[in-house]
Structure 1
Amino acid sequence: MDPLEEHRAHLLAVGYRLTGSRADAEDALQDAWLRWDRLGPDGRDAVRDVRAWLATTVARLCLDRVRSAPARRESYVGPWLPEPLLTTGPDDVLDAVVAAADVRMATMLVLEHLTPDQRVALVLHDTVGLGFDEVGAVLGTTPSAARQIAHRGRRRVREAARAGELPVPVGAPEQRRVLDAFLAALGAADVPALVAVLHPDAALRTDGGGVVKAARRVVHGAEKIARLLVALLDEVDPGALSSIRPVTVNGEVGMLLPSSPPMVGVLTVVDGRAIGVHVVMTPEKLSS
């Protein structure tokens, strides 16, 4: 079997964790295949760990984009959300990507708060399992410096967990129960019922990318979110809500509104209520 195909799910997961974009991850995989092919038979035979070689190659290819991400985020219109990964069945390669909790929306948003080098170090060491000598080689630094970079990133993740930014994932039945209650309240335009479904510290992020009408800032608080969502119903096709169907988004129960343009949403659930409401509407993030 072609080694790139053999390790495709693993490499796609590495690229996605680093960039938050399936398209960027796919581009990195394609470029990695070209580099692998250019090694020639003798060069490929000399590679002792093909999986690690491909993973570090994908990471190097993603690194420039990761390092430029903060500047691109500053010019991005409105809140930024990762490209949602919608899985359709057991044969979908993305099922293997979303099997771990570290591609959930909440986790991906925490990764955005790390420096680019911290993000690369954590993904390569803690997720991929590479040693700090290999991580340092990707980052262009020493193994001891790479270890410190990963330590600082790990500390930031722990802080996020303590602050409630990284809730422990709940099971699909609980996610579905909260999603059903959320959609029922939204469909009835029932503000009190919607407030009851939302955690008091809930945050709403709507990613329209400046292309689709969306909130330009993160909206905080159950009451504000509920009133905003109900008000937005007036601008939605009356039959649109009835066409919403459940989908799996980044390994969690989510929703797809096949409107024009389409919308994909997912709730982060904690203590039986939605603490995060993430809605992606940017067309280029929903085209794959």
Structure 2
Amino acid sequence: MTTQSRPGHGRLDPGLDAITSERRQLINIAYRLLGSLAEAEDAVQETYARWYAMSPQQQDAIESPGAWLTTVTSRICLTLLSSARVRRETYVGEWIPEPLPERTERSTGRPGGTTVDPADRVTLDESVNMAFLVVLESMTPAERVAFILHDVFRYSFAEVAGIVGRTPAACRQLASSARRRIRDSQGPASPTVQQAGIVRDFKQAWEAKDIDALIGLLDPDATAIADGGGLATTFLRPIEGGEQIARAWVEIADRRPGDMTFLERTVNGQPGLVAQQDGVTVTVFAFEVAGDRIKRIWAVRNPEKLRRWTTG
């Protein structure tokens, strides 16, 4: 698995460059832990608020500010994960992690000015593709934190133990359990070029309303899940079976407005599709491809989760 560099363990310069450097790492950790960039931003913002609430003497007494920031962010995320389980029980329909577009710099509106979107701070590797994030959602908060910090960001179990409040041996077991979940839920990934070709073929068959071609591209046991969050019309329950999905997608094509277009886009670092209406993204489709068939489709229509796709 691709890993990220560890946060610096030297003194944290209060200058903007040093803060930005730490913030990038914290956003990467928090997004993987929470599956929501908006919540990740809030967690990191709260971390910095706690840092600056300390006196200079208290800050100087912290031997490794980078490690302190990571610990605080992770603990905030751990608390949010516990409360998220309660919130998602009342969520309308299925909950899917927030999809991220390709990196891009967005204009500030000022002449010659640019601002880096928080999404640009998330490194899009295999630890952030939609299939991976969905499996993380099935884990307990402690499993998720132990696994992400150790397996993805290479923290020792002794360091993880200090964050989650358990022994290193317990954290090792948590990460092992999480690892099994990942292994049991995902097969060998197809090469990205092959995935892109299959997604392209799916788009063309969908636009042509070719149900036989769609069935041929879908695994017989494929699943399609949509997330409208109660804010966008969508199917509330997963659709099971390749043929059933193909028929549903043809029905979607029959009902689509004339000004809607489908475009190939990168979604969380993997080939995907977006539906745009009047140039505004209204749905993002992420895919899990196994071999030469599509195994899962995630359709995100909740406008609150598409803000990164509709601004800039």
Same fold (TM over 0.5): yes
Q: Give the Cα separation in 2 of the matches to 1:159 and 1:193.
A: 29
Counterpart residue number, 1:248? 266
Q: Is residue 147 from structure 1 mapped to residue 172 from structure 2 by the alignment?
A: yes
Q: Give the Cα separation in 2 of the matches to 1:127 and 1:220.
A: 32
Q: Give the Cα separation in 2 of the matches to 1:126 and 1:44.
A: 29
1:228-250 Cα deviation digits (max 9, x unpaired)? 1111223210331xx22222211
Counterpart residue number, 1:229? 249
State the identity as a percent. Answer: 37
Q: How does 1:194-273 map to 2 (within 5 A)?
A: 194-240=214-260, 243-259=261-277, 262-273=282-293
Inter-CA distance 45–179: structure 2 relative to 1 (3 Å threshold): same
CA contact under 8 A between 1:248 and 1:254: conserved in structure 2? Answer: yes
Please list every run of 5 or more consecutive structure 2 residues that lacks an aligned counterpart in the other structure: 1-14, 106-115
Q: Is residue 184 from structure 1 mapped to residue 204 from structure 2 by the alignment?
A: yes
TM-score (norm 1): 0.89
Q: Is residue 124 from structure 1 mapped to residue 139 from structure 2 by the alignment?
A: no
Counterpart residue number, 1:279? 299
CA contact under 8 A between 2:93 and 2:228: conserved in structure 1? Answer: yes
Offset of 1:93 from its aligned partner? 6.1
Offset of 1:45 from its aligned partner? 3.6
TM-score (norm 2): 0.83
Offset of 1:51 from its aligned partner? 3.0
Offset of 1:92 from its aligned partner? 6.5
Q: Give the Cα separation in 2 of the matches to 1:249 and 1:40.
A: 42
* Letter aligned with residue 152 of structure 1: S
1:180-233 Cα deviation digits (max 9, x unpaired)? 101111101110011111122211011111221111111121100000111122
Aligned length: 281
Q: Give the Cα separation in 1 of the matches to 2:305 and 2:88.
A: 15
* Letter aligned with residue 233 of structure 1: A
CA contact under 8 A between 2:35 and 2:133: conserved in structure 1? Answer: yes
Inter-CA distance 170–10: structure 2 relative to 1 (3 Å threshold): farther
Q: How does 1:154-193 map to 2 (within 5 A)?
A: 154-160=179-185, 166-193=186-213
Q: How does 1:95-106 map to 2 (within 5 A)?
A: 97-106=122-131
Please list every run of 5 or more consecutive structure 1 residues that lacks an aligned counterpart in the other structure: 161-165
Counterpart residue number, 1:56? 71
Structure 2 SS opposite 1:7: helix
Counterpart residue number, 1:163? none
CA contact under 8 A between 2:220 and 2:241: conserved in structure 1? Answer: yes
Offset of 1:144 from its aligned partner? 2.7
Q: Give the Cα separation in 2 of the matches to 1:125 and 1:42.
A: 31
1:2-60 Cα deviation digits (max 9, x unpaired)? 33311233211111111110000001111111122233434334434333322221111
Q: Is residue 68 from structure 1 mapped to residue 51 from structure 2 by the alignment?
A: no
